[in-house]
Amino acid sequence: GVHIIGARAAEMIAEAVLALEFGASAEDIARTVHGHPTFAEALMEAAAAVRK
């Protein structure tokens, strides 16, 4: 599952739920186009950090 607490959590959780439903990997999330600047972009940055 996904737990996100804080301001703008609703903006970020939708992408995480979509990734879970489709079995996306951290690499899949990192390679997805993200608008800038958005809070959802933080998910992309976290996923990219997994690969390092």
Please report how the helices 41-50 and 9-21 are oriented relative to each other, as an axis angle in degrees rounded to 10. 50
4 close to 13: Cβ distance less than 8 angstroms: yes
pLDDT at 52: 63
pLDDT at 49: 94
Question: The tokens 């690499």 sit on which residue?
Answer: 27
pLDDT at 2: 87
Question: The tokens 């939708």 sit on which residue?
Answer: 14
Output the tens digit of pLDDT for each of the chain's 52 residues: 889 898 888 888 888 899 999 999 999 999 988 888 888 888 889 899 996 6
Domains of the chain by residue range: 9-50
Q: How far apart are CA 44 and CA 16, in angstroms?
A: 10
pLDDT at 28: 93
Catalytic residue (choose from 6, 36, 37, 52): 36
Catalytic residue flag (residue 36): yes
27 close to 47: Cβ distance less than 8 angstroms: yes
